[in-house]
Chain A
């Protein structure tokens, strides 16, 4: 990918880096190496820091919408290729406006941060939690079996329902969330927009049905099991290509799985 560039020397002094530096300093998480030691390392660290910043929601530290979109698109590729189910959850804090109106926006921010932290604690490291916008969050759970979807969503809902969020010394409040979810249609190359729409529709449903509840879009499962795969290739045992020899000749109805794995 990397093209060989003709060597050229960038003079740091000639670049306008003050704004970038200020952004990174303000974020606090990035320590830049001194520019004197290695200008290249300094510039690289700055670029890395900015990339990192561009993917994060500043308030909660979660993935931002831009980052999340890329994650969704990657998941779609995986699902279409492997048929492995993936779950997209959309969450919305119930009556968040009331929190803002009653306790002020700072309290609102604290609630958003607390929810973000709780969400991250409820999912696996491989999952992505994002602040989708406003008081809306989203979670992408790759390799999530359809049977577990409701359990994951319920865990999140219950966890948040049970939380007390401190918004001022001696003042804690409770909030609830509504959750809508949709599995990527297995084997189907969908689009991020359609998938999000499907999850959103369930979220609206959860809201309409009284909030603090979960609804998942139940798509019909399209799953091709190892047994089905094995049976599909019965014809190949009619004697032919050499590379398929590992399939036992009594493949139909025979023991699935083990013999077939070698074919792929």
Chain B
């Protein structure tokens, strides 16, 4: 499928200096796994959909994500079939319970986690084909900082880093931000702190991260890296209940504190990517 594609820029490094970030694409990432990245992606999509936006969530973990588990969806046709030419892109896009669209990678995509220029080209082409049809595209990336994750993030105009208040999560989030600054020349990174114990904890954590970045990280241009606190999601037993029931929190318990926090996050995302409230 790469024949249709414009030749990929040769200057691009193997771990993804930004090609050309695509507008209205939000990458959700984290350093550490298990901090609620997929949970945030799926529920944020539902919150945006509720507000009338056309949303697509793309499993950018290429087959290792839990998006299918979270959404309880096991489609017959996946991104893998699109990559192998067995199906058309439109056939792989399915409707998720929260009123948004989903493109799942399918387990066969694991072999594509070797990020060859061809895979990169195909992925880019798929992204370019998808974006015009939606108000916002959310990339649910993998855990850890892999070449695949960095590549997916490089396509996004906005990066949302999910972290929890634990030391390991913060260290990994900090390392992720450093990599994004060094390799992709990112100057703005957006933060969501999940599972906070008290109101205001998330903002304090973001401020803390910002202070350490200010002290230790300099960009090539000399401009400071800016962290934008997008919100806290409070620790909330409703989250676990929804996950165990394999439902979206926004559907199962829309009035819960965590669901309300995600709805607020959706408003902020709308402002960030310049969406008019539908």
Contact = CB atoms under 8 A, between A and B. Distances in A.
Given A80-B145, A83-B175, A224-B178, A232 B197 contact: no
A236 B165 contact: yes
A224 B216 CA distance: 9
Interface residues of B, number: 36
Contacts of B1: none
A264 B168 CA distance: 8
Interface residues of A, number: 30
Contacts, number: 88
B147 A187 contact: no
Interface stretch (A13-21, A109-117, A189-197): A189-197
B209 A232 contact: yes
A231 B215 contact: yes
A240 B164 CA distance: 14
B110 to A, nearest CB: 12
A167 B182 CA distance: 50
B170 A189 contact: no
A189 B165 contact: no
B205 interface: yes
Contacts of B125: none
Contacts of B204: 235, 238
A233 interface: yes
B179 interface: yes
Nearest to B216: A228
Nearest to A83: B175
Given A189-B144, A235-B205, A240-B197, A252 B168 contact: no
Interface of A: 80, 83, 185, 187-191, 193-194, 197-198, 220, 222, 224-225, 228-229, 231-236, 238, 240, 244, 252, 263-264
Given A232-B174, A264-B168, 8 more contacts: A187-B176, A191-B115, A193-B114, A220-B183, A222-B175, A232-B212, A235-B201, A252-B211
| 4 residue pairs, one from A and one from B, having the closest CB atoms | A189-B146, A220-B182, A187-B175, A231-B212
